[in-house]
Structure 1
Amino acid sequence: MRTATFFDGEGWREGVVLIDDDGRMLLRDEPSASRIPRLDGVIVGGFTDHHVHLQLVEHELLAQSRLGRVVDLGGDPGVVASYADAARFVSLRSLNDRDGELRSPREERSDETKRATRIEYAGAFLTPVGGYPSDRDWAPAGSVREIVNEASSTSSAADAVAEMADAGASCIKIASNRTAGPVFDDIVFRAIVEAASAHGLPVVAHAEGRGEAQRVARLGAATLAHAPFTERLDDEEIAEQAASVTWISTLAIHGGADLHVALDNVRRFHAACGRVLYGTDMGNGPTPVDLNPLELAALRDAGLDGPALRGALAPRDPRDPASVLLLLPHRDADPTHARRLTAADLEA
């Protein structure tokens, strides 16, 4: 048992981290006794990558990562749902028993690293017939749901949203890439937003091409899957975006002019109090199945550091018994210095 400082998702608190009678490592929000030794470092829950594509990476590596939650933004809903179900099973098994037999503390301690990353997902990309990414070799079978792009097809749009909702989606992904094919007209886009809202699901839009970031925001998208990179938004447009839309960063996938534009947009969006979330587009190139130091460095270049960077990473509440527990050297430490807390840390 150790007393510890931990981040609950909003602020720093004091608590006790211990291994209970069933061998589970738990963090409790309770007053600490002065006689209990203090943990060397602070605790946070596993970080969130808000933009991943698990079918394009070795998703099993999440089990050893510092990610407590990922959001898949485009994949076969059945396949990604199976990944999420498997992760939930591993997490519950690590908290309860195995094959009907309680684990001993020693067995449970050795299994602490198997606490699973929570997987949420949008299901398939919703796109017009022939729209992005329907023609991409990297798009797995079942990861694209095409909808006829006509005003009379609003019922088809609602059907597509219902399919994703029934598959367990936590959001809806719309592809609106004007540089790579057709995009939904305003009527169909709004129909998707309205259908998603009826299911309690926000819309995340891949907006690419001149004017698309502003258009999808005006039509009701809650989040941009990528910080705008194809054009520099003027300050008035930045202010409008900051008041209505969240941006997922994905800065490190860019280079050259696109990176310059994206960084400039994010700097001004953040300065205008816009909400920026850490996301890597994991699977787009050789990205790590873990925290991406290049993405973190780019966010710092854009002005996010300290509390702002921690907010973008959205760590889970470590008091959740299924949460990945991470140990940092101190409150303001570089997130890449985080590692998984182990039973050995409580015995040192």
Structure 2
Amino acid sequence: MMRAVTFFAEGRLREGTLTADAAGVRLVRGSASDDAARLDGIVTGAFTDHHVHLQLVDARGLVASRLGRVIDLGANVDAIRKIALSGAVEVEYAGPFLTAVGGYPSDREWAPEGAVREVRDAVDAAAVIGSLADAGVSWIKVVGNSDAGPVLDDALLRTIVLEAAEHGLPVVAHAEGAGQAQRVARLGVARLAHSPFTERLSDDEVEEQAASVSWVSTMAVHEDEAYENVVDNVRRFVAFGGDLVYGSDMGNGPTPVDLRDSELEALREAGVEGLSLLRALAPLDPLRAGADLLLLPRGDPAGARRITPADLEA
């Protein structure tokens, strides 16, 4: 069985061929034979959610989802490592939230035991980052939420960034409260875990952010003024060429353990659609052996479903 298809890889659309045999469905690069029927839609690998909290959901649901890779940004490092080793999908993780003494979310009931680490000084920072590097983290997660308690001061946050760099680890920040998004970017974090929502940034501030950090979308978790702020900020961020990636903040409220349609709607409202939306979703390589393949009818990720051999039958 064979079908000609259009697929998305390496940031653009390409022509390929779907084949099916006893081992399953496989995508190969290059046009199919002239007499091969075409499967309408776009084929991709499974998507990436760049902001999840797997300790707060039933992670087993990922197996049947449209996600092939997730990045956990706040968990007990031993617990999340066990989840990652289970092999449901590819899991990268940051381990615990690193926050100031008494800082967010150290007082939150939803935070699992060991999912928050209060950092006291530079010596403490070096110790905790070293231990997290040994535990296999891919990111370091810091918190600057001035609306909910004390925050790491500039010197200590900068120390964390530099210590993380010594281990080859980028730093992602939860920035909330007036001026916090600008502050953490200035101090060297690589990514904001949430697109800025506390306030409407000026055009100059957005342009500076677009040149220095990436943003995780997480737009649909907001309402009212915060939602209006984040949509406006994201619209201008992508217009300035900023690197925006899809993230749902899975586990924050009743979120699906799957692609979040309301997040896709918010991204489109901010003008992120078409190939830009696919790039934000960062699908895994569909040409990789054994890759889970998705079919996007009319190229719409919201309608994505897994491809089966039945899709190739006449």
1:202 and 2:203 matched: no
1:70 is paired with a residue whose SS is strand
1:141 and 2:142 matched: no
> How far apart are the structure 2 equivalents of 1:166 and 1:33?
50
1:297-324 deviation per Cα after TM superposition (whole angstroms, max 9, x unaligned): 1111111111111111111111122432
Contact 2:143 2:174 in 1 (8 A): yes
Question: Which residue of structure 1 lines up, in the alignment, with residue 255 of structure 2?
Answer: 287
User: Which structure 2 residues correspond to residues 83-94 of structure 1 after superposition, within 5 A?
Assistant: 83-87=83-87
Question: Which residue of structure 2 lines up, in the alignment, with residue 296 of structure 1?
Answer: 264
**What one-letter code is carried by the residue in structure 2 that aligns with 1:254?**
H
Identical amino acids, percent of aligned pairs = 56
> How far apart are the structure 2 equivalents of 1:4 and 1:83?
35
> How far apart are the structure 2 equivalents of 1:25 and 1:214?
46
> How far apart are the structure 1 equivalents of 2:272 and 2:42?
21
Gaps of 5+ in 2: none
Contact 1:71 1:120 in 2 (8 A): yes
Question: Which residue of structure 2 lines up, in the alignment, with residue 176 of structure 1?
Answer: 144
Question: Which residue of structure 2 lines up, in the alignment, with residue 315 of structure 1?
Answer: 283
Kindly state the Cα deviation for residue 17 of structure 1 after the two structures are TM-superposed: 2.3
Question: Which residue of structure 1 lines up, in the alignment, with residue 12 of structure 2?
Answer: 11
Of 145, 168, 179, which aligns to 1:211? Answer: 179
Question: Which residue of structure 2 lines up, in the alignment, with residue 77 of structure 1?
Answer: 77
**What one-letter code is carried by the residue in structure 2 that aligns with 1:11?**
R
**What one-letter code is carried by the residue in structure 1 that aligns with 2:179?**
G
Contact 2:16 2:28 in 1 (8 A): yes
Q: 1:344 to 1:44 in 2, by over 3 A?
A: same
Aligned residues: 313
> How far apart are the structure 2 equivalents of 1:73 and 1:20?
39
1:318 is paired with a residue whose SS is coil
1:20-66 deviation per Cα after TM superposition (whole angstroms, max 9, x unaligned): 56x14322224532244433433111111111101111111111111
Question: Which residue of structure 2 lines up, in the alignment, with residue 266 of structure 1?
Answer: 234
Contact 2:54 2:251 in 1 (8 A): yes
1:127 and 2:99 matched: yes
Contact 1:207 1:213 in 2 (8 A): yes
**What one-letter code is carried by the residue in structure 2 that aligns with 1:8?**
A
> How far apart are the structure 1 equivalents of 2:156 and 2:15?
50
**What one-letter code is carried by the residue in structure 1 that aligns with 2:15?**
E
2:98 is paired with a residue whose SS is strand
> How far apart are the structure 2 equivalents of 1:230 and 1:342?
44
Contact 2:216 2:247 in 1 (8 A): yes
Contact 1:47 1:68 in 2 (8 A): yes
Q: 1:28 to 1:253 in 2, by over 3 A?
A: same
> How far apart are the structure 2 equivalents of 1:132 and 1:143?
12
2:68 is paired with a residue whose SS is strand
Kindly state the Cα deviation for residue 140 of structure 1 after the two structures are TM-superposed: 0.6
1:69-108 deviation per Cα after TM superposition (whole angstroms, max 9, x unaligned): 1111001111111111111xxxxxxxxxxxxxxxxxxxxx
Question: Which residue of structure 1 lines up, in the alignment, with residue 307 of structure 2?
Answer: 341
**What one-letter code is carried by the residue in structure 1 that aligns with 2:133?**
A
Question: Which residue of structure 2 lines up, in the alignment, with residue 38 of structure 1?
Answer: 38
Contact 1:9 1:315 in 2 (8 A): no
1:161 and 2:133 matched: no
- What CA RMSD, in Å, does the superposition of the two structures yield over aligned residues? 1.5
1:196-227 deviation per Cα after TM superposition (whole angstroms, max 9, x unaligned): 11111111000011111111000001100111
Question: Which residue of structure 2 lines up, in the alignment, with residue 100 of structure 1?
Answer: none
Question: Which residue of structure 2 lines up, in the alignment, with residue 235 of structure 1?
Answer: 203
1:117 and 2:89 matched: yes
Question: Which residue of structure 2 lines up, in the alignment, with residue 224 of structure 1?
Answer: 192
Contact 1:62 1:290 in 2 (8 A): yes
> How far apart are the structure 2 equivalents of 1:334 and 1:39?
15
> How far apart are the structure 1 equivalents of 2:241 and 2:15?
29
2:207 is paired with a residue whose SS is helix
Contact 1:68 1:323 in 2 (8 A): no
Kindly state the Cα deviation for residue 346 of structure 1 after the two structures are TM-superposed: 2.3
Contact 2:26 2:289 in 1 (8 A): yes
2:220 is paired with a residue whose SS is helix
Query: What TM-score, normalized by structure 1, do the two folds share?
Result: 0.86
> How far apart are the structure 1 equivalents of 2:151 and 2:114?
19
1:180 is paired with a residue whose SS is coil
1:259-298 deviation per Cα after TM superposition (whole angstroms, max 9, x unaligned): 1111111111122111211111111111111111111111
**What one-letter code is carried by the residue in structure 1 that aligns with 2:150?**
P
Structure 1 residue runs of 4 or more that deviate by more than 4 Å after TM superposition: none
Contact 1:231 1:261 in 2 (8 A): yes
Question: Which residue of structure 1 lines up, in the alignment, with residue 216 of structure 2?
Answer: 248
> How far apart are the structure 2 equivalents of 1:14 and 1:302?
29
